[in-house]
Amino acid sequence: QVQLVESGGGLVQAGGSLRLSCLASGTISSINAMGWYRQAPGKQRELVARVFSGGTTNYADSVKVRFTISRGNAENTMSLEMNSLKPGDTAVYYCDVIGAQWGALFNNWGQGTQLTVPS
């Protein structure tokens, strides 16, 4: 069983910065992509940023330039550096990993971490 643990959420004033981290644990053969999604109250979950095994990244238009996703030195870790935070960034942020375990593909989610940027 692959488990994801997010950390780093909190309350940040507008214009501030915060870093989210995600650790994937378990027997993982390979990771195809790791990403961050977010869900604000009353809205659908949306992709924030994703990094693929080859290093390619993609971002939601709303966070381009402000957010940076990266894989950690440890293979199963990922972080999201968020700068110039806005009240519209307030949401629960979820880590998502697509990979392979024992020859089978998996797509697992973390339990989420809350980011609040007061207006």
Burial 59-96 (b: 16+ CB within 10 A, else e): beeebeeebbbebeeeebebbbebeebeeebbbbbbbb
Q: What is the dihedral of CA 39, 56, 84, 77, to 10 degrees?
A: 70
Query: Is 10 a residue whose pLDDT tops 80?
Result: yes
Classify the C-alpha dihedral 78-61-52-106 as positive or negative. Answer: positive
pLDDT at 103 (0 to 100) = 84
Q: Per-residue pLDDT for 90 more than 90? A: yes
Write down the pLDDT at residue 75. 74
DSSP 1: -
Pairing label, strands 67-71, 57-59: unpaired
State the average pLDDT for the chain.
94
Higher pLDDT, 29 or 20: 20
How does pLDDT run across 27-67, given as a tens digit for each residue?
888 999 999 999 999 999 999 999 999 899 999 999 999 99
Residue 107: what pLDDT?
93
Question: Could you tell me what percent of the chain has a pLDDT over 90?
Answer: 84
Q: For residues 47 and 26, which has the higher predicted lDDT (pLDDT)?
A: 47
pLDDT at 102: 87
- For 118, what's the count of Cα atoms within 13 Å in the CB-facing half-sphere? 4
By C-alpha distance, which of 21, 27, 26, 24 is closest to 9? 21
